[in-house]
Amino acid sequence: MADSSRGGSLAFGQVVIGPPGSGKTSYCHAMRDFLGRLGRRVAVVNLDPANEALPCPCALDIAELVTLADVMASLGLGPNGGLLYCMEYLAANADWLRERLRALRGHYVLFDCPGQVELYTHHRALKDVFAQLAKWNFRLAAVHLVDSHYCTDPGKFISVLCTSLSTMLHVELPHVNVLSKMDLIEQYGKLAFNLDYYTEVLDLSYLVDHLASDPFFRNFRRLNEKLVEVIEDYSLVSFVPLNVQDKQSMRRVVQAVDKANGYSFGDQEQRSLEALMSAAVGADFHFSSTLAVQEKYVQSQDKAVEEEVMDL
């Protein structure tokens, strides 16, 4: 974990970010178990001072340094202001984090981060922490989790795209956007388009037209068109679908993250030609992963239609 100037060895990992309820903690522990089966030594680091009910023990917990409850009680701050203060306190005490991380030398580290969106769109504290980790020879990828139910609402999906783009530009790390809880998507309603439309973020003009059919959004068509233009001009946002209970789905996310942070091409494991090729596939990889999820989604929709017909 030494500075690069001292020739320290590389450490790889993920910073798991996203809004509240997107499944960050569940993802971290599912990913730890999955990577552990692959032979990697994995450690989960909790950087969320509001996360008091951890499902499994963590190798390092920010609660040793600061907790949201203590900050709110001592400074009279609300939950949002208290969380921002905690992250600023962590950034100001980066030496504490560095010393604790020394004990995790040789581990693949999963950083479970808070769910406050402004931390990833314009506030600097966590961005500064990530920059420090890079100086300590961590090669990280940001895994941005978004609840898949936003796909069922065109207005919310445009908002998610704007948030994801803003996060990618602000955090300044290799980025993998993930649609989480894909096993529950059929419970939220039928999608207006095929799943690959949302994962690959295809021609968004269709989404604006779909919104225009709603009397409320019709008045904001021009605004939506401009938002869509910004997203398409950058052409950065795409998503990998994820169901943490599906091993193939987890494998696809691991491949995308390994490609993003360079783990596939490092010396941490003996990499086979197949692993190197799968990490370099790109568009074909995303297509195949989306196709598998799309097939399950369509089957669930067809089953629901059949049950409705039987009821009639």
pLDDT digits (tens, 9 = 90+) for 192-237: 888 889 899 888 998 888 888 878 888 888 998 999 999 999 999 9
Which is more confident, 144 or 150?
144
Predicted confidence (pLDDT) at residue 266 exceeds the cutoff of 90: no
Please report the pLDDT score of residue 308 as a whole number: 56
The more confidently predicted of residues 51 and 43 is 43
- Say yes or no to pLDDT of 52 above 60: yes
Where in the sequence of the chain do the CATH 3.40.50.300 domains occur? 11-201+237-311
Question: What pLDDT was estimated at residue 270?
Answer: 45
Residue 3 scores a pLDDT above 70 = no
> Confidence band (pLDDT; 50, 70, 90) for 154?
confident
- What region, left, alpha or beta, does residue 181 occupy, with left being phi > 0 and alpha being psi -120 to 50 degrees? left
pLDDT band (50, 70, 90) for residue 302: low
pLDDT digit string, tens, across residues 255-265:
999 999 998 76
Class of domain 11-201+237-311: alpha beta
The owner of tokens 């499994």 is 56
Q: 138 has which bridge partners?
A: 11
| Euclidean distance between the first and the last CA atom of the chain, given in angstroms as a whole number | 65
Contacts of 180 (CB under 8 A, 6+ apart): 18, 22, 23, 27, 145, 146, 147, 148, 242, 244
Closest CA to 10 of 137, 173, 104: 137
Strands (E) located in 107-238: 108-112, 138-147, 175-180
Average pLDDT over residues 56-67: 92
Lowest mean pLDDT among 69-73, 259-263, 297-301: 297-301
Q: Give one word for 72, left, alpha or beta, with left for phi > 0 and alpha for psi -120 to 50.
A: alpha
DSSP bridge partners of 43: 109
pLDDT at 276 over 90: no
Residue-level pLDDT at 284: 47
pLDDT at 292: 58
Per-residue pLDDT tens over the stretch 74-133: 999 999 999 999 999 999 999 999 999 999 999 999 999 999 999 999 999 999 999 999
Percentage of residues in the chain having pLDDT higher than 70? 82
DSSP-based three-state secondary structure for 284: helix
